[in-house]
Amino acid sequence: MEYWSLEQSKLQKGRPLPLAGRSALVTGGGGAIACGIGRKLLAAGAKVFLTDIDNKRLDKVCELLAREFDPAQISGITMDVTDSASVHNGLQEIILSCGGLDILVPNAGMAHVATLADLDESTFRKVLDVNLLGVFQVIKAAIPIFKRQARSGHIAAQIIINSSKNVFAPGAAFGAYSASKAGAHQLGKIAALELAEIGARVNMINADGIFDDHCISSGLWDVVGPDRMRSRNLDPEGLKEYYRNRNLLKTEVLADHVGNGVVFFASGLTPTTGATLPIDGGVASAFPR
Ligand SMILES: NC(=O)c1ccc[n+]([C@@H]2O[C@H](COP(=O)([O-])OP(=O)(O)OC[C@H]3O[C@@H](n4cnc5c(N)ncnc54)[C@H](O)[C@@H]3O)[C@@H](O)[C@H]2O)c1
């Protein structure tokens, strides 16, 4: 018995990591959830490309992850998901650097709090641009790559969209965010229909409130958190507790949990496409239907 831990580590040693040799692109890579997704993909053996429009945030996440994992497995690339040329260039850089792309995680996003009466057109367009058009741009740009790879017998591509609990359970004063995320979610289902012929899988993750990942706070929540609470007539100080207490398991949802969901789908353990995985501690109003 006293050698049991040594025995266990010996048994684990020879076991290949589930995503060894795969490459992954995570957009919005300078964000809190991207940090958790990156961490779990790296732990599963993938090479990870984090892309973001904000280089400062991107560098911080890359530096944090490089303290935990082999820096050679992590790359940061500037990319604006609303700009097709920028998306194309980013993908080219990835292909030139490692020859292909196996896992795509459209994750870049922004939020805005306003009732429909107060929502101005330009802000609505901006949120749609990032959250909906941005998802479309990266999926569209990756399709020719995935098709080429499929023709040469490469392992099936995996797209995992970081969607939201909000898609099934929208909230007042959050119309721009809810509508844009619902649109991106629907695009994911369309991509599942269209890409099944090449074996590619497209799935969605619906998380509820996540406020930070260790040292990286959610930029999105930093902007909308206080207003979100005020729109419910609640004290902004109680944000985390409010979210923890509203789920069935009374648990805090973490960026790492989303990362675990991404690795589950990316590993292709089940023949699943077009599906939604809630990572929300159980929110009955947001049960997928
Ligand atoms: N935090 C939550 O509670 C929560 C819950 C469910 C879903 N989500 C979704 O998860 C994703 C990430 O959220 P987060 O909390 O990590 O937010 P975050 O603000 O920390 O990260 C989002 C990142 O997207 C980047 N970004 C914004 N516009 C961009 C653009 N045009 N091109 C490229 N990058 C751009 C930002 O610079 C930022 O680094 C979003 O899509 C969000 O809708 C978040």
CA of 12 to the centre of ligand 1 (A): 35
Cβ atoms of residues 106 and 135 within 8 Å: yes
pLDDT score, position 4: 61
Taking the CA of residue 130 as reference, the ligand 1 atom at the shortest distance is: 31
Q: Are strands 103-105 and 23-27 parallel, antiparallel or unpaired?
A: parallel
3.20.20.220, 2.30.250.10, 3.40.50.720, 1.10.150.130: which CATH number matches 19-275?
A: 3.40.50.720
Q: What is the DSSP letter of 130?
A: I
pLDDT at 1 (0 to 100): 55
State pLDDT tens for residues 2-37: 666 666 566 556 679 999 999 999 999 999 999 999
Compute the distance between CA of residue 166 and CA of residue 204 in angstroms, rounded to an integer.
13
Ligand 1 center–CA 235 separation, angstroms: 24
**Residue among 26, 52, 136, 204 to mutate when testing ligand 1 (max atoms within 8 A of CB):** 52
How many A from CA of 176 to the centre of ligand 1? 14
pLDDT < 50 positions in the chain: none
Terminal C-alpha separation, the chain: 49
| Ligand 1 in reach of 108 Cβ (< 6 A) | yes
| Ligand 1 neighbour 109 (Cβ under 6 A) | yes
145 CA from centroid of ligand 1 (Å)? 25
* Nearest atom (ligand 1) to Cα of 165: 6
Closest-CA residue to 220 (of 31, 63, 77): 31
Instruction: Give the burial class of 186: count Cβ atoms within 10 A of its Cβ; 0-12 exposed, 13-18 middle, 19 or more buried.
Output: middle
Domains of the chain, by residue range, sit at 19-275
| Beta carbon of 52 within 6 Å of any ligand 1 atom | yes
Mean pLDDT of the chain: 95
Q: Which atom of ligand 1 is nearest to the CA of 110?
A: 27
**225 CB under 6 A from ligand 1?**
no
